[in-house]
Chains A and B, each alone.
Chain A
Amino acid sequence: MFFLQSLLSGILTGGVYALAGIGMSLVFGVMNISNFAHGDLMMLGMYLAYFAFTLLHIDPYISLLLIIPTAFLFGFIVEKVFIHRIISHPHQNQILLTIGLGLIMSNTALLAFTSDPKILTTSYSSSAVHILGGISLSVPLLLSFTITCGITGILFLFLSKTTTGLALWATSQNREAAQLMGINVAKMSAIAFGLGTALAATAGALIAPTYYIHPMAGHTFLLKAFTICVLGGLGSVVGAGVGGIIIGIVESMSSTYLSSDWKDVVVFIIFLVVLLLRPQGLLGKKGEQ
């Protein structure tokens, strides 16, 4: 019973991690940039959900309808103003720029919202559904997971069925060949970064009801998202999805059977083992970067 309980909670949490990982992976795939501001973009999503709830009285899951387009636009503009300048530069320059952007975001949040953690409490925050006589699943986590599945499904359809989606995917496979098809790769980069930002903010908004909201919250998630991307294979959207679920399960299992202090240790041990045995990641391809 403990095992099933732990497995199911792990999968539910992992779904949201997957969403964060997919956003990072998409940006890496299309632009070949590791976005170290990804966690801070999640933090912005958390605050957006928080203020939509406290000021506008919009349920955090409904406010996604506002958060997603806002975050997309924000990411699109950030790409056009900052990121596109360093797209063909060495990785260390890209890392410095994205870390810098992240610091500006987290410190602005610190200035504006103070370091006091905020808690988003909805009427159903602590309610749970009981299944199979004994397993309890938190309602906010269940909702988050369902929404995550929906968004991932839509994203997958977009990437595989629409011409713009295929063009994004083509750009991630071969940027130069994509240019020769007449694809405006600069525009594709801005769209990819917009989508990555929207996914990060969505993940942030989805965990807001079950997590402390504070300006530095992004840092934990950055590390997690990065681990998920590398685990699944950098640039692989499906890989990031799988990686997210794995990390969710591993965390939940180690909290149950070891102690919650050990969960990060176990995650990183697995991470290191995968890097040693399969450096291209679980679903990545050999020889890609």
Chain B
Amino acid sequence: MLNIKNLNAGYGEMPVLKNISITIAEGEIVSVVGSNGAGKSTLLKAISGLIKSKGIITYNNESLQALPAHAIVQRGIIHVPEGRKIFPEMSVIENLIMGGFLQRTDRKENMEKVFTLFPKLADRRNQLGGTMSGGEQQMLAIGRGLMGNPKLLLLDEPSLGLSPLFTEVVFTAIQTINKSGVTVLLVEQNVYQSLNISNRGYVIEIGSIVLTGTGEELLNNQDVKKAFLGM
């Protein structure tokens, strides 16, 4: 579905990603784990067209790099950014409407789906995004992403700064979304939980992939255990 080969990207003169290669097949949950500053967010920004990149990114055999960000969204690649980036002065409903900007005919139906997945959002439908807690904002950010009819969902650190309870809710939601037929690329520092729900994973260190395998293989890998799981 998504094929990344020898990808190089960065900000201005500063290179962040060095020759990264990743593949994602339809229906998978794939995790990219690594510490802060390893280039995880940069990878997602390169895929969704927020930053320019060199190398190859193809989605169903079409190159994404020449496309503007909104055209990439149109193809069903939806990026839920780090730090949620919800619209603070807009209500929950208005945020969701923006998520479905390109999918206006399915708006009602998608909104119902989001409210079934996160009933809390339904209770808060008229609350301003900026006044919600971090966990609620994360639900809203994911819900807003679902409004765009994703085929491939890019999630950037959805558990960052959340309580264990909300983290659980978010990871359960990711599995539910995946079972409904959405492919997921998950970028996380929460190594244990993300590899636990993933079919496959990649470990990224200072802009390069250093390890790859199934979720289980990586969780049992001595280096991963030492570096990320404190074992």
Contact = CB atoms under 8 A, between A and B. Distances in A.
A180 B79 contact: yes
A183 B144 CA distance: 13
B86 A181 contact: no
Contact of B99 (A174, A176, A181, A186): A181
Nearest to A179: B69
B70 A169 contact: no
Contact of B87 (A163, A173, A184, A185): A173
Given A169-B89, A170-B90, A180 B69 contact: yes
B181 interface: no
A178 B50 contact: no
A185 B98 CA distance: 13
B33 interface: no
A247 interface: no
B102 interface: yes
Which are the 6 A-B pairs with shortest beta-carbon distances? A182-B73, A177-B85, A182-B102, A179-B69, A173-B87, A184-B70
Contact of B98 (A181, A184, A186): A181
B152 interface: no
B94 A166 contact: yes
Interface of A: 163, 166-167, 169-170, 173-174, 176-186
Nearest to A174: B85
B81 interface: yes
Contacts of B68: 184, 186
B10 interface: no
B81 A166 contact: no
A271 to B, nearest CB: 25
Contacts, number: 64
Which of B74, B80, B101, B148 gathers most chain A CB within 10 Å? Answer: B101
Nearest to B88: A173
A169 B73 CA distance: 19
B81 A180 contact: yes
- Place the interface of chain B in its size category: 20 to 34
B48 interface: yes
A183 B98 CA distance: 8
Contacts of A167: 98, 101
Contacts of B148: 181-182
Given A170-B87, A174-B85, A174-B87, A180 B101 contact: no
Nearest to B87: A173
A112 B48 CA distance: 49
A180 B50 CA distance: 8
Interface in B1-56: 48-50
B144 A181 contact: yes
B182 interface: no
B49 to A, nearest CB: 8
Contact of A173 (B48, B74, B78, B90): B90
A163 B97 contact: yes
6 contacts: A167-B101, A173-B89, A176-B81, A177-B86, A182-B74, A184-B70
